[in-house]
Amino acid sequence: MSSAAEQEAGPGERAAADGRGLAKGRAAADGLPAGVVNGARRTAPPPAVPARPGTPVPLGARFRTGPDQVAGTNFALWAGGAEAVELCLFDGPGPDARESRVRLTEMTHEIWHGFVPGVRPGQRYGYRVHGRWDPWTGARWNPAKLLLDPYARAVDGDFGLPPEVYGHVRDWPEQRVADTVRDDRDSAPYVPKGVVVHDDATDDEWTYDRRPKTPWADSVIYELHVRGFTKLHPDVPPELRGTYAGLAHPAAIAHLTRLGVTAVELLPVHQFAHESHLLERGLRNYWGYNSVGYFAPHAAYAASGTTGEQVGEFRRMVRALHAAGIEVILDVVYNHTAEAGELGPTLSLKGIDNRGYYRLQHDARRYADYTGCGNTLHVVQPHVLRLITDSLRYWVTEMGVDGFRFDLAAALARSMHDVDMLSPFLAVIGQDPVLRRVKLIAEPWDVGSGGYQVGAFPPLWTEWNDRYRDAVRDFWRHALPDVREMGYRLSGSSDLYAWGGRRPYASVNFVTAHDGFTLRDLVSYERKHNEANGEGNRDGTDDNRSWNCGTEGDTDDAQVRALRRRQLRNLLTTLLLSTGVPMLVAGDEMGRTQRGSNNAYCQDNETSWVDWTLRDDPEWAPLLALASRLIALRHRHPVLRRRAFFSGLPHSVDGLRDLAWFTAGGTEMTERDWYAPAAMLGMYLSGRDIPGRDEHGDPITDDSFLAVLHAGEEPAGFVLPGAPWAERYEVVVDTGREEQDEAPDAGYPAGTPITVAARTVLLLRVAG
């Protein structure tokens, strides 16, 4: 290497030159071929296509008519600190597609832009961004790597992650410095491309779409995976199974409406990449928490095509669900991207402006990792915040979704370091005229210091309440020292959310989620069984709070199987009678099992897919019927979905409180009772004088109910509270029964001692 080249090259390039002759990097920065690099030759690009200045807004690729009425596409990319940006156009799919490069010469406020006549919807494209290679200062520009537009609305192709897609030499012998050695091989043949999409989303069907706008208090959420929900559905046509169109099929929607849920919460549908360690083991990322395109529906879930067709297919799915009265909530991953840490691939943001998009440590080679996934987006930066909010608004206004569940939301709420509930992200969301009107759900934690923030998010936000999950699991495995925690969780978690105007529906109550055991496995396994993931069963939590009813895994023992089904009924009934917003996981209502896996993130197979044979299985069909019945009961009775917290105070002249707690002896609980060991709890919900008014301005009244929860191993007596609470009670739900009677039984006079079977929930309606 000449001394001049040596002076221009960074330390990593000099290391490369000393080792394997890879320091031709500055030639690549000038858009010239770098010669032979590790045995691969990059060929010169075809002649450039002329570009006009265009406009810096909106960001992304927008098809439109130019000033001389010539159709074309405006391209705009924020690339702060870059020295040059090339737009790369491809004439077809696959690694042999011919590439034409267009240098974007216009830059406004760090946005590189240009209008290219003749570029129409369906055009595949990407970017090459030029700049310094100096990992020690966080600069990782490498024009040999084709980059996905962060604003691409459709993506064609898949990320296979061969060595060529890494900005550094992935296989460098000294791994401790591998990230500093630039790899000049061309990645274009190995990465997917962005696709220009027509902006018009106002066809007749879309214009007449009607959002359900279900109030939070009336919501019942159903978490599902687009692929896994219909992959085995016998009534969905084979070519549509596992796709957006499959979820929109009447057979799929019929199950949702029969169950009675009001919203589906879709596991990530942003374009995502599979991690290299999974691909090496023949596995794939199934859950999708590895986003790389925040505007693009994941192409693998489309039945109609991947050159823009996936956008229309997603919109039609949303319309079909809305027509059935079902809202669509997206699980979104804005806390990190698929580019991982310094040893991760260069796919998009890392090559556009690594220092601008990611949080870096004091040693700028390294990433601040509050997510456990290698990197954390730097949401304090205005352009990063803009990327996220533009993405959110796009999914609401142009794709029709009704809300979002934010993965590891505490990472988004960090200011410079600490979680800050006055952070720019939360402030911007709180004042945005579009986003403040949709459903916002926080996963209120991350893996960094101080990241656990359950109960701390501001009004407007709801939260996944893991304290509810843990309390209910512990109660039904008889592991709580007393019933104080259970009392709070059943009645809306006022200890967490009764501040700043928050309401009971700030608590999204769940017993299971995608991450962890299914409901059936929760009562069938005490140990995780993740061997199929190829990680030595080290992955996944060991804190399952599960009970296998005496036998680990599947069994032919009829008594154990009956006990497990009873426990499932107890868990479902508890969830759907609790104040707050209940969330079920697809398949739990009919006994889906993952055979003990509590971390099926890479199991894109029957382990994770919903097993529809259970729907008609005599052993499991009664569980589905109970779930539907409980949701219908919840919809009919406003006392079960209150919009305000219980006060525990009288609201009428008869002196009845809106919420009362009873011991097994039929007496109201004292402070001493709350601290005493107990396996039984009685909860009285008064339907008189429910706070608020109906849409006509009239007072809301309802039946009153008494719920008796008994987690003990033996039957126990319970005295039904007498006057003034009731004159008579009718049993509405008895989880001790395999089948539930549609009509209530003859009932019991108030003051009657009854026997509650072991491990049972009784729901009784006050009849007089």
Percent of the chain whose pLDDT exceeds 90: 85
Q: What share of the chain is helix, strand, coil (3-state, %, to 5)?
A: 30, 20, 50
* Per-residue model confidence as pLDDT tens digits over 221-258: 999 999 999 999 999 999 999 999 999 999 999 999 99
Strands 748-749 and 728-734: antiparallel
The whole-angstrom separation of Cα 247 and Cα 233 is: 10
Domain of 707 in residue numbering reads as: 647-767
Q: E strands within 298-407? A: 327-332, 403-406
Do the Cβ atoms of 146 and 110 come closer than 8 Å?
no
Give the bridge partners for 128, in sequence order. Answer: 86
Do the Cβ atoms of 509 and 575 come closer than 8 Å?
yes
The whole-angstrom separation of Cα 526 and Cα 516 is: 12
Residue 652 lies in a domain: yes
CATH number at residue 74: 2.60.40.10
Q: Determine if the pTM surpasses 0.75.
A: yes
- What pLDDT score was predicted for residue 3? 37
Residue 762 lies in a domain: yes
Last residue of a domain, one of 173, 196, 219: 196
CATH number at residue 716: 2.60.40.1180
Q: Please, what's the b/e burial string for 500-535 (b: 16 or more CB within 10 A of its CB; e: otherwise)?
A: eebbbbbbbbbbbbbebbbbbbbbbbbebbbebbee
Active site residues: 407, 443
Residue 2 lies in a domain: no
- What pLDDT score was predicted for residue 8? 36
Q: Find, among 311, 318, 335, the residue nearest to 266 by Cα.
A: 318
Number of domains in the chain: 2
Residue 525 lies in a domain: no
The whole-angstrom separation of Cα 376 and Cα 357 is: 9
DSSP 680: E
Residue 538, SS3 per DSSP: coil
Residue 732 lies in a domain: yes
Do the Cβ atoms of 725 and 684 come closer than 8 Å?
yes
Residue 548 lies in a domain: no
Residue 697 lies in a domain: yes
The whole-angstrom separation of Cα 125 and Cα 296 is: 14
> pLDDT under 70 in the chain at which residues?
1-49, 200-208, 652-655, 742-746
Residue 659 lies in a domain: yes
The whole-angstrom separation of Cα 117 and Cα 64 is: 9
Q: How many CB atoms lie within 10 A of CB 163?
A: 17
Q: Find, among 729, 763, 765, 764, the residue nearest to 747 by Cα.
A: 729
Last residue of a domain, one of 145, 180, 196: 196
The whole-angstrom separation of Cα 569 and Cα 733 is: 10
Last residue of a domain, one of 196, 211, 242: 196
- What pLDDT score was predicted for residue 40? 34
Strands 193-195 and 124-130: antiparallel
